[in-house]
Amino acid sequence: MAKALPVYLVDQVASEIRLATRRAFTARSVPRKMSSLKAVRVNIGCGKNPVTEWINLDVIPHPGVYFWDCRSGLPFSDGAVAAIYSEHFFEHLDLKSEARPFLRECLRCLQPGGVLRIVVPDAGAYLRAYSGPWEPLANMRPLYCTDSGWCDPWLGQVYQTKMQFMNAIFRQGYEHRYAYDAETLLLVMREAGFADGVVQQFGVSIDPKMAPDSNERGTESLYAEAVKR
């Protein structure tokens, strides 16, 4: 008797089929709209938080958002983009097959002097906090304490051990593909051609017109930027 596929794998396959179907309808229309644009600002993986006067891309339907699967390239001409912002999207990419090609696409699309800002969960900060008491770790998410454990409003889970929480942070139900500390994120950016990546703070950017960081992710996030030379 054949063994049934795990539920998470079935969900992943179903999700990929839905995305492939939608890609078939947007593969030409979105690039046609974007190919002639110049000096645009692009918000990648914006979810339900599009930025006004930016081109917002995601696979989640929402007003003001263009459907585009950024794992398969970006729909912009070479050197047509002034700035790229991506918050809590990059960790969802497989390092070898998706994240590195994505960075090379960002480099291709950016104009000279264009800024790339990537925001991810700060795995290094979480690991440093793990060895201590619950409170510093919980404050990063943040979590709140209940009689049954530490509650995570973001994922709707309750953790009784710190390792349960760490698994949720690093894996997120198989959605997260890679964890980054500052050293690793800058290395991956440098390997893709961004030679001068720097770590930034919440709300601080090389580009004064950069998209705003989300307040609710500020305590747990790592911010990195690089300029195309």
pLDDT digits (tens, 9 = 90+) for 157-210: 999 999 999 999 999 988 999 999 999 999 999 999 999 999 999 999 999 999
27 vs 45, more confident = 45
User: Are 91 and 53 in the same domain?
Assistant: yes
At 214, is the pLDDT very low, low, confident or very high (cuts 50, 70, 90)? very high
> Taking the complete model, does pTM exceed 0.85, yes or no?
yes
pLDDT confidence of residue 61 = 85
Name beta bridge partners: 192: none
Domain assignment present for 1: no
Domain assignment present for 141: yes
Please state, rounded to an integer, the average pLDDT across all residues of the chain: 92
On the question of pLDDT at 123 being above 90, the answer is yes
On the question of pLDDT at 48 being above 70, the answer is yes
127 vs 2, more confident = 127
User: Are 87 and 197 in the same domain?
Assistant: yes
User: Are 34 and 113 in the same domain?
Assistant: yes
Q: Give percent of the chain with pLDDT exceeding 70.
A: 90
Domain that holds residue 67: 7-121+180-227
Q: Which of 16-20, 107-111, 161-165, 182-186 has the lowest mean pLDDT?
A: 16-20
User: Are 160 and 77 in the same domain?
Assistant: no
What is the count of structural domains for the chain? 2
